[in-house]
């Protein structure tokens, strides 16, 4: 009999059937063995998987997990700017993973490891509690229709799971360009046990310099669209 706590009938994403470009497929085929992580391998030994990196990152290097990195442009940029930090990416869409691996190869970035798998299952089965310095979720699907709000990723059970994976003092950083979703995120995080707003209660944060400005976000800013960052710390 399956464990009812492991059942997840509502997913926050729909797997798209998009095809990889030849460059993405080549990058995936050539680099997955080097930079890819398998959910089936179980609990992640972060020190071991980064031991062969060009920067020889050890246990003292910060560990950052990004959920839903899309095509990976921002994640590659962040990793290139912080070569002494260990980045772990989680994305369910293979073309995005292929694009990330292509970007890593192109820019000579060696401090990212990536799962192509469901984030809830990766967190539950592969990431030890109190092991991460930062978790970041940037621009998750807003599921803007009210009847689809139940599909939104940022819900109390998921935030509780994220909180358990953070070290004491670790950072949970969310960002969205949908005001309604930003308000929901704020409500959920303010009520979560073990988290405190890094600004002040109910306050959104200015975009930190380390979060790259995406092309989509820059276009939105020119059109007057808002972007909301939420930064909370584990107490």
Q: Which of 133, 141, 160, 229 is catalytic?
A: 141
Sheet of 228-234: strand order equals 36-37, 112-115, 86-90, 63-67, 132-138, 166-176, 228-234, 195-197
Question: Which stretch of 9-13, 46-50, 178-182, 193-197 has the lowest confidence by average pLDDT?
Answer: 9-13
pLDDT for the residue numbered 44: 97
| Separation of alpha carbons 147 and 48, rounded Å | 44
DSSP for 124-162, please give it.
HHHS-TT-EEEEEEES-----SGGGGGG-S--HHHHHHH
Mean pLDDT of 79-96: 96
Q: How many helices (H) and strands (E) does the chain have?
A: 8, 8
- Cα separations (Å) of 104 from 50, 78, 134, 150? 15, 11, 21, 34
Contact 162, 76 (CB under 8 A): no
Question: Tokens 């912080």 sit at which residue?
Answer: 82
The residue length of the chain stands at 235
What the block records as the tokens of 143 is 């599921």
Q: Is 141 a catalytic residue?
A: yes
pLDDT at res. 56? 65
Strand partners, 199: none
- Which of 27-31, 108-112, 150-154 shows the lowest mean pLDDT across its residues? 150-154
User: What pLDDT does residue 55 have?
Assistant: 65
Please tell me the predicted confidence (pLDDT) of residue 52. 76
Q: What is the pLDDT of residue 214?
A: 76
Q: What are the structural domains, with CATH classification, of the chain?
A: 60-234 (3.40.50.150)
Residues 2-56: pLDDT tens digits? 444 444 555 645 555 568 899 999 999 999 999 999 999 999 999 999 987 766 6
- Residue 1: pLDDT above 50? no
Phi and psi, residue 38, nearest 5°: -105, 130
Q: Which residues, listed in sequence order, are joined to residue 176 by a DSSP beta bridge? A: 228
For residue 196, is pLDDT > 70?
A: yes
Give pLDDT, residue 226. Answer: 87
Query: Are residues 105 and 31 in contact, defined by beta-carbon separation less than 8 angstroms?
Result: yes
């Amino acid at each position: 009999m399956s464990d009812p706590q492991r059942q997840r009938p509502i997913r926050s994403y729909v797997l798209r059937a998009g095809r990889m470009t030849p460059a993405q497929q080549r990058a995936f085929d050539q680099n997955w063995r080097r930079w890819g992580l398998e959910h089936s391998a179980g609990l992640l030994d972060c020190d071991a998987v980064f031991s062969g990196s060009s920067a020889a990152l050890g246990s003292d290097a910060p560990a950052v997990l990004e959920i839903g990195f899309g095509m990976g442009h921002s994640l590659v940029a962040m990793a290139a700017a912080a070569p002494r930090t260990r980045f772990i990416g989680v994305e369910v869409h293979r073309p995005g993973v292929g694009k990330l691996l292509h970007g890593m190869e192109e820019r000579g970035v060696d401090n990212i490891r990536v799962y192509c798998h469901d984030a809830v299952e990766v967190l539950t089965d592969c990431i030890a509690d109190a092991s991460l310095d930062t978790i970041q979720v940037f621009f998750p699907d807003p599921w803007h229709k009210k009847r689809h709000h139940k599909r939104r990723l940022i819900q109390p059970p998921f935030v509780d799971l994220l909180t358990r994976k953070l070290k004491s003092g670790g950072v949970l950083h969310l960002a969205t360009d949908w005001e309604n979703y930003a308000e929901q995120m704020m409500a959920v995080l303010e009520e979560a046990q073990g988290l405190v707003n890094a600004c002040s209660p109910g306050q959104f944060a200015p975009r930190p310099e380390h979060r790259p400005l995406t092309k989509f976000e820059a276009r939105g800013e020119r059109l007057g669209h808002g972007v909301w960052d939420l930064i909370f710390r584990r107490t």
